[in-house]
Amino acid sequence: MANGGCTIKVVEHSQVSPPPGSVPVTSVPLSFFDLPWLLCRPMQRLFFYHLPYSTLHFTHSILPSLKASLSATLQIFYPFAAKLICPSSPQKPHILYTDGDSISFIVAESLADFDRTTGYGGYHVRDVKDLHPFVPELPHASAVSNTRVSPLLALQVTVFPNVGISIGATFCHVLADGRSFNHFMKSWASFFRSAAGNSATVMPLLGRSVIQEKDPCGLESVLLNGWLSCASNQEDDKEQVQRDVFADKVRATFVIDRAGIQKLKRRVLDRCIEKCEAELPRASTFVVACAQVWTCLIKAQQLSGSLRNQQDADEFYYFCFPADCRNRPELAIPATYFGNCLAICFVQVTGNELVGEDGLVAATKAIGNRVEEFEKGALRGAEKWISNWIEISESGRLLVMAGSPKLRVYDTDFGWGRPKKTEVVHVDASPSIYIGDSRDEEGGIEIGLALKRYEMDAFIGCFEQGFNTI
């Protein structure tokens, strides 16, 4: 099976479902939080673990328990085994679970160099296609009586004989955001660690009534119509587009430790004090990390020729980040809510400001102000989430952030220890970055991004200079 930069051998391709008869036929409506993500590409996440066993030992001694614990987890998180149903208008899209529904589960073997594949330290620049063989493709959607039926999750375990394994997941964002997927993965890990199959996992809240109660202004109707108006323009087959997108593209991982974060904060605040500004900006760890990456990226585009003329520099550039609405006082949505519960936040700053001497300050102010606006009203402007997304995406000047350091993905422990490396693979396909927690230092930030090779060289130079000049 060739998929990306190397060849893997499929050892087993099976289906895993909740235990028979354990979940009744259930229809889950899409909330207004879910609807914008109907426009989104599938999410792809990778976890790498040290596991010094042969493929034979893994398939005979570990795999049965891994699949059994997955089945038990799917009983609790059954929407992952369900299907996305998109009927013709005026019927609404929804998620439907039927007894016997299952997910695709692939076991593969790779002779790729595990340490090189998971290289940590430095920036580990490598071709984006190097990771693609380790994440599965979602099975194709089917059409039944003008209704599109789509699987929602596929999993792949790849054995690197006598060295380690990877667990790759591809799932539809319309079903779950990062926090919900993280809850699922940690629950699976907890079930697997439990010899008796009894897990201490925290049960998810699967119902949508807690969201529907928060929609007195009809956001669902507005966002549903927004999706319907542009759904017909979406192409089902994106293979050729993806091949073009991946050409000469590399990915790298950057880590900002606590000392680096403090340097960025100090630089921003000192500059504002130097300019005698009345109010100091919100310079949290999240805000300054995002600001550093955004400004370095725009400067790298300028240096590499992507900003071709003065008109480009005069235009607004946009940064988009998700903000979790769980536990917001005005919404009272519990932390265990399963599904999407994200506000979509946009920020704009001109290219000239971002590449200027005070670019970091400008970006910090803009992102910090948007965070404060969110805290004053999480759903302000929600009716424009889809229309803004379409309009700003078409500008070609949008950078999207995925992930959150609060997810603590390196705590996903199946009993083999913390992951050696985690990756968010789908950032390869669009102008996106991933920001998460650092594996090795509490309070540190890990950043993943993919760029054309010449842009990455320029980005590394800007990133390093940004700390050397502090």
Q: Are 94 and 26 in contact (CB under 8 A)?
A: no
Sign of the CA dihedral running 303, 305, 307, 310: positive
> Tokens 């979602």 map to which residue?
138
Q: Which of 310, 449, 298, 318 is nearest to 393 (CA)?
A: 318
pLDDT digits (tens, 9 = 90+) for 186-227: 999 999 998 645 567 789 999 999 998 888 789 999 999 999
Residue 131: predicted pLDDT: 95
277: left (phi over 0), alpha (psi -120 to 50) or beta: beta
Q: How much is the pLDDT for 455? A: 94
Bridge partners, residue 398, by sequence: 318
pLDDT value, residue 243: 59
Q: How high is the pLDDT of residue 242?
A: 57
Give me the pLDDT at residue 306, please. 67
Residues of the chain predicted below pLDDT 70: 1-6, 120-122, 195-199, 232-244, 306-311, 469-470
Q: How many CB atoms lie within 10 A of CB 352?
A: 18
pLDDT confidence of residue 198: 57
**At CA 426, angle to CA 423 and CA 247, rounded to 5?**
105
Neighbours of 396 (CB within 10 A): 11
Q: Are 125 and 252 in contact (CB under 8 A)?
A: yes
pLDDT tens-digit map of 48-82:
999 999 999 999 999 999 999 999 999 999 999 99
pLDDT at 191: 95
Neighbours of 44 (CB within 10 A): 24
Rounded Cα–Cα distance for residues 321 and 347 (Å): 9
Look-up of token digits 């599109």? 148
- For residue 166, the cross-strand partners are 48, 158
Q: What is the pLDDT of residue 237?
A: 43
Is the sign of the CA dihedral 176, 180, 182, 186 positive or negative?
A: negative
For residue 1, what pLDDT is reported?
53
The answer for 363, left when phi > 0, alpha when psi is -120 to 50, beta otherwise, is alpha
Query: How far is CA 265 from each of CA 215, 280, 440, 467, rounded to the nearest angstrom?
Result: 38, 11, 21, 11
For the beta carbon of residue 283, count every other beta carbon within 10 angstroms: 23
Where do the domains of the chain lie, and which CATH numbers do they carry?
9-232 (3.30.559.10), 245-468 (3.30.559.10)
Smallest CA-to-CA distance from 163 within 57, 309, 92 is with 57
CA Rg, the chain, in Å? 22
| Active-site residue list | 173, 413
Lookup result for tokens 């940004």 = 466
Q: How far apart are the C-alpha atoms of 438 and 46, rounded to whole Å?
A: 15
- Per-residue pLDDT at 119: 78
pLDDT of res. 380: 92
What are the pLDDT digits (tens) for 347-356?
A: 999 999 999 9
Residue with tokens 């220890």: 417
What per-residue confidence (pLDDT) applies to 307?
66
Written as one letter, the residue type at 312 is: D
Residue with tokens 């590409």: 41
